[in-house]
Amino acid sequence: MIHASASALVATYEGTMTTGKKPASDAGKILSNPKSTAKEKEVAASDLAQAKHKPKGK
């Protein structure tokens, strides 16, 4: 069963698809859960690849 949070909860930002903070956090939890299926982990990894990246500040 694929978790709804790991599916494509994405927002359009300047023409690119990005995953918000909450769905990205949920995707991380799915990846670290040993009971997650391979398909769940595949979808979660895809979401993280689309996550917004904050620039590193001081």
pLDDT at 27: 92
Where exactly are the structural domains of the chain?
A: 4-49
pLDDT at 36: 96
Beta bridge pairs of residue 12: 17
The C-alpha atoms of residue 57 and residue 11 are separated, in whole angstroms, by: 24
Helix or strand or coil: residue 13? strand
pLDDT at 16: 56
The model's pLDDT over 2-56, given as tens digits with 9 standing for 90+, comes to 555 444 444 433 445 677 888 889 999 999 999 999 999 999 999 888 877 667 7
Helix or strand or coil: residue 3? coil
